[in-house]
Structure 1
Amino acid sequence: MAEKLGLRAVTTLTRLAVRSLVRGLKPHLLGPEAGRPFEQALSALLADPAVAGSFREARFITLAPDGGWLPAGLEVAPGDEVTVLAAGGFWASKLLNLGFGARIGVWLRAGGAGTILKTPSNTSTVRLDEGGPLHVVAKPPGEWVDDRGTFDPAFPRGGVKGEIGVCLIVWKGGALSGLEALARAGDYEGLVAQALRRTRDPVPAPSGWRYLWRLGDGEIFRDAKAGEGHTICCHTREDVGILQFPVDFPLTETARLRWRWKVETLPCDLPEDIQPTHDYLSIAVEFENGQDLTYMWSSSLAEGTIFRCPLPFWDKVETHWVLRSDPAALGRWLAEDQPLKADYEKAIGAPPQRVVKVWLIAVSIFQRKEGICEYADIELVDGDRVLKCSSRSDAEAAP
Structure 2
Amino acid sequence: MRSAFYAFLALLPLPVFSAAVWVGDFTSPDGTIPPPWRIERPNPEVPPTNYRTRLWEGVHAVEAHAVRSMALLARPVTIDLARTPILCWRWRIDAPLQSADMTQKSGDDYAARVYLSFAVTPERLGLGTRMGLALARSIHGDQVPDAALNYIWDNRHAVGTWQPNAYTERARMLVLRSGSASAGRWVAERRDVSADFQAAFGHAPLTLTGVAIATDTDNTGEEARAGFADFRFVASADDCAPV
8 A Cα contact 1:206 1:221, kept in partner: no
| Structure 1 runs not aligned, ≥5 long | 1-202, 386-399
8 A Cα contact 2:149 2:172, kept in partner: yes
The code of the aligned residue for 1:272 comes to M
8 A Cα contact 1:212 1:243, kept in partner: yes
- Is residue 240 of structure 1 aligned with residue 67 of structure 2? no
Who is 1:360 aligned against?
213
8 A Cα contact 1:254 1:339, kept in partner: no
Who is 1:283 aligned against?
114
1:381 to partner: Cα distance: 1.8
- TM-score of the pair, normalised by structure 2: 0.67
Who is 1:299 aligned against?
155
Cα RMSD (Å): 2.5
- Is residue 308 of structure 1 aligned with residue 138 of structure 2? no
- TM-score of the pair, normalised by structure 1: 0.42
- SS of the counterpart of 1:250? coil
The size of the alignment, in residue pairs, is 181
- SS of the counterpart of 2:42? coil
Instruction: Give the distance between the partners of 2:95 and 2:201, measured in 1 at CA.
Output: 29
8 A Cα contact 1:285 1:292, kept in partner: yes
8 A Cα contact 1:215 1:242, kept in partner: no
- Is residue 255 of structure 1 aligned with residue 88 of structure 2? no
- SS of the counterpart of 1:342? helix
The code of the aligned residue for 1:287 comes to F
Output aligned runs, 1:78-157, within 5 Å.
none
1:299 to partner: Cα distance: 0.6
Q: Deviations over 1:167-216 (max 9, x none)?
A: xxxxxxxxxxxxxxxxxxxxxxxxxxxxxxxxxxxx85454311225345
- SS of the counterpart of 2:77? strand
Who is 1:347 aligned against?
200
42, 47, 53: which one aligns with 1:214? 42
Instruction: Give the distance between the partners of 1:384 and 1:324, measured in 2 at CA.
Output: 24
Instruction: Give the distance between the partners of 1:230 and 1:364, measured in 2 at CA.
Output: 24
Instruction: Give the distance between the partners of 2:114 and 2:94, measured in 1 at CA.
Output: 15
Identity between Structure 1 and Structure 2 (%)? 24
1:243 to partner: Cα distance: 1.2
The code of the aligned residue for 2:227 comes to E
Instruction: Give the distance between the partners of 1:291 and 1:209, measured in 2 at CA.
Output: 20
Cα 1:206/1:369, change in 2 over 3 Å: farther
8 A Cα contact 1:260 1:333, kept in partner: yes
| Structure 2 runs not aligned, ≥5 long | 1-30, 121-145, 239-243
Who is 1:330 aligned against?
183
1:376 to partner: Cα distance: 1.1
The code of the aligned residue for 1:309 comes to N
The code of the aligned residue for 2:103 comes to D
Instruction: Give the distance between the partners of 2:37 and 2:84, measured in 1 at CA.
Output: 25
Q: Which has the larger radius of gyration?
A: 1
- SS of the counterpart of 1:267? coil
